[in-house]
Amino acid sequence: MTHRIGVVCLTQGKRPQDLARGLRSLNDQQGVELDIVVVGNGWEPTGLLDGVRGLHLPANLGIPAGRNRGVEHVHGDWIFFLDDDASIPSPTFLSDAVAKFVADPTIGLLQPRVEDAEGKENPRRWTPRIRKGNPEHPSAVFSVWEGAVLIPRQLFDEIGGWGDPYFYAHEGIELAWRVWGAGKRAWYAGDLVANHPAIDPARHSYYYRLNARNRIWLAKRNLPVLLVPAYVASWTAIQIVRSARNPVGMRAWWGGWFAGWRENPGGRRSMGWETVRRMARAGRPPVI
């Protein structure tokens, strides 16, 4: 059976060589039928491989909204999201990933292990769990690194896709939470590999602001009311400790924190208490 997969690659056109590498890695995939769209977030996609379509968004809508617009233009029983600076080195990556869903119907979302193709040290944040351990070890997770994610199309539509309002930061946590809320598990497949350059992300004031605002929006959109203050309080304490020597970043962070309470992102879908219990039994209750 050949699996049909819709693929969404989001880009602003600033990394043409990386994008071309990622598209070639998709073109090399075996045992699957791909419908690929490159979403230009404020950029007109050009110079694409044969068979790859472009979608021009006149303005940068942000990462989650841009991905969602791409999904509207692809067909398939599965949706695969690949960042414009990521690639998949194995020609059987997608068929192997789908096979995991088929073998274990409790899996609702899959993120592979991420490695730098040049052998540089891989950031610990790429393994989305508190106890990082061996990155080759698979496990259930409660957030995802968004650069390479596979999910059944039906489930993606059911949970409402990526959170449009976030622009960027924490949309991968919400997607994983909503997969758990739908009765499935988000899965870290440590035996499958995606490549991504190991670079330190810029930590500018806008990052700190959105990090704080979106953390509160995440709670307001997804948690039972009783858990919202507990979740926000735990992450506020963590951020204060982490940023003790970064007063500039903390000023921006507090601005986002107050904006998160003041502004209404909409789209609330509170997880049920049974989901809270399932997540707690699996290792991470949604209060930390």
CB atoms within 10 A of CB 120: 11
Q: Within a 10 A sphere around the Cβ of 77, how many other Cβ atoms?
A: 13
pTM of the model: 0.94
Closest CA to 179 of 282, 260, 91, 86: 282
Asked if residue 194 lies in contact with residue 239, where contact means CB atoms within 8 angstroms, the answer is no
CA distance 217 to 206: 16
Determine the Cα–Cα distance for residues 184 and 275; give it in Å rounded to an integer: 10
- Closest CA relative to residue 156, chosen from 254, 42, 78: 78
Burial class (CB in 10 A: 0-12, 13-18, 19+), 259: middle
Q: What is the DSSP string of 121-169?
A: PPPGGGS-SSS---TTS-EEESS--TTEEEEEHHHHHHTTSS-GGGSSS
Residue-wise pLDDT tens digits, 1-50? 789 999 999 999 999 999 999 999 999 999 999 999 999 999 999 989 99
Strand order in the sheet with 78-83: 53-57, 32-41, 3-11, 78-83, 148-152, 107-115, 185-195, 139-141
Give the C-alpha separation, 162 to 184, whole Å: 17
For 122-148, the pLDDT digits (tens) are 888 889 998 888 999 999 999 999 999
Q: Say how many CA atoms lie within 13 Å of 75 toward its Cβ.
A: 1
pLDDT in tens, the chain (288 residues): 789 999 999 999 999 999 999 999 999 999 999 999 999 999 999 989 999 999 999 999 999 999 999 999 999 999 999 999 999 999 999 999 999 999 999 999 999 999 999 888 888 888 999 888 899 999 999 999 999 999 999 999 999 999 999 998 999 999 999 999 999 999 999 999 999 998 776 567 888 999 999 999 999 999 999 999 999 999 999 888 887 778 878 899 999 999 999 999 999 999 999 999 999 999 888 887
**The CATH classification of domain 3-195, taken from the options 3.90.1150.10, 3.40.50.300, 3.90.550.10, 3.90.850.10:** 3.90.550.10
Which positions ≥6 away from 217 have C-beta within 8 Å? 163, 165, 166, 170, 260, 263, 265
Which tokens sit at 107? 């899996």
Share above pLDDT 70 across residues of the chain, in percent, rounded to a whole number: 99
